[in-house]
Structure 1
Amino acid sequence: MTRALSSTAFDATYARSDDAFGANAAISAYEGEVQRLVSDDVPMALMLVFAKRYPERSALGAYALSLPKEAADTPALYEDESLEALVPMLSLHFVDQVDAARREFAMSCADARQIVAKMSDEPALEDLEFAWAWSMVRSRAITFAVKKSGTDVIERKRCLVPVCDVLNHSPTSTSDDSDDGPNVSIESNDVGESIWKTTRDVAKGQALRWTYGELSNEEMWLWYGFVPSTPSHGDCSVVFNLPDTVFANGLNAVAKEDREETAALRRRLLERCGALGLNEGEELSFVLTMRGNPKVLGGIAGLMCCDADEVVAVAASAVIASNGGGDGSLFSFKPETRRRAGRYVAWLLTQVEAFVCGATDAEIAELERTAEAVGGEFAARFRTAKRLRTGAKSTFAAVQGVLTEESLLKNGSWIDDATKTLIST
């Protein structure tokens, strides 16, 4: 499939300019009253609302009628009671992301209601009507990088692309030989057209799948309304926050034999890379991925666990790097330092996993019995949340695999590289 350059871009600019239903004037009037621009999702969602209300008058009428009848099953649209029942299974970071999405939706919905109210003889906008349109935009629009006319500025635009948006998603890391892996890729040709093409034979009745990006399970559920049926994949990631007191306390344990001068120098290095010295209430954010080593944590642990001579070497490299004389590569950790640093990270992640993955296995079993007894929508959402947890636990397990004694002694130089990166930035 080829999207020609002459194809209409059904994006926010189009939605604002197409005034077949009077929405354009109403949006402008409302923005003038509130003295701010509404989110791009508002005009795009209203474009779908009116396409569904008046399909014979809209260029997107047939498209709107072909879309799913219900809103995407995203926790951003769950009732409070339903969401609260799932919270024990969810990480604090994901709950924060859901809360932010719910606020975003609430504001967009309120703006849209006021805009429609300014349109003569137009029926009031219902919350469910807008929720459907908003979720269709968030779950189906494709983001393109577009060069702004006459400049070198690259803008990222979300566009609705009928036909192409029916392609299903597969994680980027799923094997091409797998039945549920991507069998479609997207590329650009010499004139800038977007082309979707199959990468292997596709049997009759088999779904066409490309990838929406390297998206975590959390992102998939929040914006697309589902978690892949195989939740453990290379795009899995886990996000969590830690206060600097965690590293201050850890430092007291792993470097308790430091002399005063060494302790002061080590602390300055940790403050330089941001692991210590945060303002009250601030926290450090970390991302674990199935794909790679925990580099930031490894770099911090390298600074915490290296011996006195290595502290001096790291400090000298940091000074040279800050003066533009190098990239922090003037030191190399001993195998024992790498082992100690990696094992400290392994211990820390064991503590983190307990609160990131939510409830215990026993609590999950009890929640599962309750969910199956309730049945219906809640049982389905529980199963989605359980897949989310499975992906998170798989991510922790994969990262722990590179933090074993054997792995650290054999392939632990990544801790050196991670430390060099921290002190050079």
Structure 2
Amino acid sequence: MLDITLIRTNPAYVLAALAKRAVHVDIDAFLRLDADLRRVRGEVERLRGDRRAVSGRIAQQQRANQAVEDLRTKAKTVTERLAAAEQRLAELQRAHRAFLAPLPNLPDDEVPAGGKENNKVIRTVGQPPRFTFEPKDHVDLARTLGLVDYQRGAKLAGSGFWIYLGQGAQLEWALLNYFTETHLRDGYEFVLPPHLLTYAAGYTAGQFPKFADEVFTVRHGEEGPEQFLLPTAETALVNLHRGETLAGSELPKKYFAYTPSYRKEAGGYRTAERGTLRGHQFNKVEMFQFTRPEDSVVAHEELLAKAEELVAGLGLHYRVTRLAAQDTTAAMAKTYDVEVWLPSVGAYVEVSSVSNARDYQARRGSIRYQPSQGKTALVHTLNASGLATSRLLPALLEQRQRADGTVPVPEALGKWMPCEVMAPPPAR
């Protein structure tokens, strides 16, 4: 949620920042609403004070056996005025929240306006593979190597699902083990969260109310999804300290979690998104940090370096892209994507989004910290995929394939794989 003080003191800056996301709002109408809210809130507090004062005088005069009829009449009048003011306050608070809740985060100043066309490649690492043979795409490779069964996945669950088989399942689990081992080495705490979350979790993460239709809802409530399948472990991790005030000495808090991610992914499944590139359920390890505001820029770079280390450790050619404002997730102020090269589509595909939400999520979830001196303040929250597997597998198969149809296993995964080279299973 945006800082209301910033909106009051610098509405022009807020409007310009939102415009970078092509979001336009009537800020003047909101400021009038905000002024009414503060006025009525003051009136409610004053009337509550009047009611307490009258009640005290009634009790005092009753103890002195003095008449209290006039005071009772006054108390009734104050109570009626207070009830009307409280009703008006509740209406204004709902309108106030309804304006603020859907607004996205303000992009950082260096994040350019616009969409994908304004994304900027920061660096490219390695070179695309060059083949002396006609390379296969990942779908054909996964089928001939017996790694993925797309047809039976669709039979079991419908379009957008698949089944990992044999060495494919082992490769998937080897990737997850590789990520887990690396994060534990780096001092991140391992978390296995619930896969079902409440509306409050989605609201804190910044996905609700605006994106409530994009999750798989298990149970509907008055506000929206009362219980839903998490679209990413970030939604769970950001809520670990919801409503808490952390000691400054505890920060940064560094977590990582493994979960499947469940997504509707409406409008996908184009030719360039075949196989496991886009699906309704895929595995992902997510990194997360709670930091002091002055430390979040360094934490952002740390998370990016960790995501890059994982991709480089697999021997993959990749690049890092800074996203423009409209391509940045609504809750985030700045995002880098780590993208691997996929020869079959002649394009890079994202395997990690590394983002800084600054205090946007913390304000929605009331996540604060207590410095050694001074008042409590909101933490900053950051997340990074570390990594998503469903796009790594296609890149591993396509970039590392050999002319005979075999694919060598990356050295980083060797301890968890039964072979050094994946080959087609023998004919039966």
Query: Which is greater in Rg?
Result: 2
Normalising by the smaller structure, the TM-score range is under 0.3
RCO higher in structure (CA 8 A, sep ≥6): 2
Whichever structure has more helix as a proportion of its residues is 1
Whichever structure has more strand as a proportion of its residues is 2
